[in-house]
Amino acid sequence: MIAQAINELFGYVKSVRGLVSVGLVVGGKAPDPGLTKVPLPAAWLIHEGGKNTQDVVRPNLPVNATIQLHYAVMVYVPYTSQSDLIDTQYPLLEALIAGVHGQTSNVTGQRWYYAKHRLVLLNPDRLGFHVSFILDAAVS
């Protein structure tokens, strides 16, 4: 289920107009200094983990647990001017969020939920954003 969900998220992100490159990584939340040569704007996806939403799961009871799958999309955008940031880069970020939030997952039957975004990289020539999405899933 984890692999199918990130593959689905990959499809949503890849369909966002304006992103030059989209990829997957395993682990790591910090912006990667090796990505300085990647054509911008770029995004890569990270499976950040899962969380049981039940208070207590007792092994001997027939309980269907619900878990939340947490994914991040790291987005690097060029920073050339204030007007480009306002006219091009922020709308790209908004398009990414709108392209995922509310979509019904073919994997779980639940909707993708936009959780938050935050600035994680501020360089003279680029900005990096961490965008969080959550997907509920049933586990029996």
- Is the Cβ–Cβ distance between 128 and 76 less than 8 Å? yes
User: How many separate domains does the chain show?
Assistant: 1
The reported pLDDT for the residue numbered 27 is 55
- The low-confidence residues of the chain, meaning pLDDT below 50, are none
Going across the sheet that includes 126-139, the strands are: 21-24, 42-52, 65-78, 126-139, 112-122
Residue range 48-89, pLDDT digits in tens? 888 877 655 555 555 667 889 999 999 999 999 999 999 999
Take residue 49 and report the two structure tokens written for it.
């983990």
Report whether 77 contacts 41 (CB < 8 A). yes
Sign of the dihedral through C-alpha 15, 21, 22, 28? negative
Which CATH number belongs to the domain containing residue 25 in this structure?
3.30.2000.10
Give the bridge partners for 136, in sequence order. Answer: 68
Q: What is the mean pLDDT of the chain?
A: 86
Which residues are 77's β-sheet partners? 127
pTM: 0.86
Supply φ then ψ for residue 105, to 5 degrees: -75, 135
Domain that holds residue 113: 2-139
pLDDT at 112: 96
- In angstroms, the CA 129 to CA 73 distance is 8
> What is the pLDDT, as a whole number, of residue 139?
76
